[in-house]
Amino acid sequence: MQPHPNIQAVREALERAGVRDGSDAPSAVRLLPDAVHTAAAAAQALGVEVGQIANSLVFEADGAPLLVLTSGAHRVDTAGLAASIGVTRLRRATPEFVRAHTGQVIGGVAPIGHPRSLRTLVDTALEKYDEIWAAGGVPRAVFPTTYPELLRVTGGAPAEVA
């Protein structure tokens, strides 16, 4: 059975970035038994702390997409973040905007595997964890990573977002 095209796009992006799963095989996107639409649900399904979940939140920043990878234990301070990155308007994107820029649906947006690169910020709170879990392109798919690897594969910038 062929994987969902979004999962395949994430797998290919990981492979292009040279991400390995520790056994020298390409990093595997894993499918959970059920969809997980929240950081708390993902953490419970994986048996990890909610802070280890890298939420992929898409914002509209002065009309352009901005991907913020935040710890599942945080809420984004949109006013503070807007001021720190020099935008006048920062708001949560609509589902249509998210899909148009990522090719993925809210609840399954991966940090990679999009049709075009997105400006990306990565929550510095994720740095304290040895292992981070990110969405794999659909709500039941996830993959393990590390903070340095997440910065590298996304081309993201570290940011305090809470």
Rounded Cα distance between 84 and 2, Å, is 42
Output the tens digit of pLDDT for each of the chain's 162 residues.
678 999 999 999 998 988 866 555 446 799 999 999 899 999 999 999 999 999 999 999 999 999 999 999 989 999 999 999 999 999 999 999 999 999 999 999 999 999 999 999 999 999 999 999 999 999 999 999 999 999 999 999 999 998
What's residue 20's pLDDT? Answer: 66
What's residue 73's pLDDT? Answer: 95
Task: Spell out the domains of the chain, with CATH numbers in brackets.
Answer: 5-159 (3.90.960.10)
pTM exceeding 0.85 = yes
Rounded Cα distance between 44 and 90, Å, is 30
Cα dihedral sign for 108, 111, 115, 121?
A: positive
